[in-house]
């Protein structure tokens, strides 16, 4: 018995999966599905984005 296995790169699997989700659910449905799959994330990005300190490039480079 001779069996052939086609190996697909992970990036190709992600592309195909994303296309299938968009086709089945539409772009908004795909985003909602991925949010649910990721347990909806955590925190409140809209609130938290304003809480971050303002840093200059020099400040960031000093943190290294």
At 64 the pLDDT is: 67
Query: In this structure, what token pair is assigned to residue 7?
Result: 């190996």
DSSP assignment of 3-62, as one string?
Answer: -------HHHHHHHHHHHHHHHHHHHHHHHHHHHHTTT-SS-HHHHTTTSPP--HHHHHH
Contacts (Cβ under 8 Å, ≥6 apart) of 30? 18, 21, 22
Query: What pTM did the predictor assign?
Result: 0.49
Identify which has the larger pLDDT, 54 or 38. Answer: 54
Work out the pLDDT band at 19, boundaries 50, 70, 90.
very high
Would you say residue 24 has pLDDT above 90?
yes
Phi, psi dihedrals of residue 38, rounded to the nearest 5°: -90, 20
When pLDDT is averaged across residues 24-30 and rounded to a whole number, the result is 93
Work out the pLDDT band at 1, boundaries 50, 70, 90.
low
């Amino acid at each position: 018995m001779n069996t052939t296995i086609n190996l697909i790169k992970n990036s190709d699997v992600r592309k195909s999966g994303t296309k299938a989700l968009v086709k089945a659910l539409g772009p908004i449905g795909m985003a909602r599905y991925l949010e649910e799959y990721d347990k909806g994330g955590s925190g409140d990005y809209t609130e938290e984005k304003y809480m971050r300190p303002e840093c200059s490039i020099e400040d960031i480079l000093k943190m290294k």
